Amino acid sequence: MAAHEDRQEALAAYALGALDERDRPALEAHLLTCAGCRAALDELRLVTQGIALAVEPVAPPAGLRDRVLAQATLDVRDANNFVVETSDRVVSVRTTTTQLAPFWALTAAAGLVIAILSGAYAWRMNHALEASRSERAELEARLMLVTATDVTRVALAGQPDAPAASGRAYLSPSHGLVFTAQSLPALPSGRAYQLWIVTAKAPMSVGMLPVAPDGHVMVMMPMPAGMNAAMVAVAVTIEPEGGVPAPTGAKVLVGAVTPQ
């Protein structure tokens, strides 16, 4: 009952356009599902329209018409006089004329607005085009890499800390590497995933992985510099944000490099 009363009050205010901003979403949501309230609102809107029509017409003060006409006649007479008699007042008439005919100014302003808007539009389109070009270039680079003749494919399996995770790496000494993984668990703040290529001599850091909130990542990175021994494995570990020179944290993904 109380809710019904509240709603009646809200509907009345809504029809008047006076319902507080914070109360509007709830009422509008209710109106979508309640035919009764929609009908009530329609009736209240008729009232609102009635209020608009009910405004008392205000009678102009007596004598206004005469005063306006008298003033207008006076102005015309004045204008006729000063054009002929005084040159300084002609200047003021010209000024008035200019103010009354700003059509060229409006046209110019409209032209300027159109120019600015279309310029902005062109700029945005150009921007979008640039973005799609660079996306395409990146995709082509990845394609080149995974189809390179020297590519080695490595499947990575989730470790006890992330049993559901899996990954895949494409290692090409000539083109770099592409790494993808999914189902990587979210990390506490200050921790991040770091990718490694383990060689016969030492683990080499490839870089930090920009893992999306859904646990997915796909990156293309250069091969680690100074790699001078055979690749043995690819691994992902949990490290302090910013990375470390040699792995310290738990391994979450590991895959052995097998000659292909």
Partner 1 sequence: VRAALVQLPEEQRALIDLAYFEGLSQSEIAERTGAPLGTVKTRMRTAMHTLRSALAS
Measured between alpha carbons, how far is 151 from 170 in angstroms, rounded to an integer?
6
Compute the least distance from the CB of residue 43 to partner 1, in Å: 6
Residue 70 lies near partner 1 (rule: CB under 8 A) = no
Residue 88 lies near partner 1 (rule: CB under 8 A) = no
**Which among 29-37, 39-47, 106-114, 175-183 is the span making contact with partner 1, rule CB under 8 A?**
39-47
Residue 3 lies near partner 1 (rule: CB under 8 A) = no
**Which among 19-27, 28-36, 92-100, 238-246 is the span making contact with partner 1, rule CB under 8 A?**
19-27
Compute the least distance from the CB of residue 167 to partner 1, in Å: 56
Residue 253 lies near partner 1 (rule: CB under 8 A) = no
Q: Which is nearer to partner 1, 9 or 78 (CB)?
A: 9
Residue 144 lies near partner 1 (rule: CB under 8 A) = no
- Which one of residues 1, 3, 53, 100 is an interface residue with partner 1 (CB under 8 A)? 53
DSSP the chain: -HHHHHHHHHHHHHHTT-S-GGGHHHHHHHHHH-HHHHHHHHHHHHHHHHHHHTPPPPPPPTTHHHHHHHHHHHHHHHHHHHHHH-HHHHHHHHHHHHHH--HHHHHHHHHHHHHHHHHHHHHHHHHHHHHHHHHHHHHHHHHHHHT-TT-EEEEEEE-TTSTT-EEEEEEETTTEEEEEEE-PPP--TTEEEEEEEEESS-EEEEEE----TTS-EEEEEPPPTT--S-EEEEEEEEEETT--SS--S-EEEEEE----
Residue 41 lies near partner 1 (rule: CB under 8 A) = no
- Which one of residues 1, 2, 4, 56 is an interface residue with partner 1 (CB under 8 A)? 56
Site for partner 1 in 183-212 (CB under 8 A): none
Compute the least distance from the CB of residue 50 to partner 1, in Å: 3
- Which one of residues 26, 47, 105, 109 is an interface residue with partner 1 (CB under 8 A)? 47
Q: Name the residues that contact partner 1, by CB under 8 A.
A: 8-10, 12-13, 15-21, 43-44, 46-48, 50-54, 56
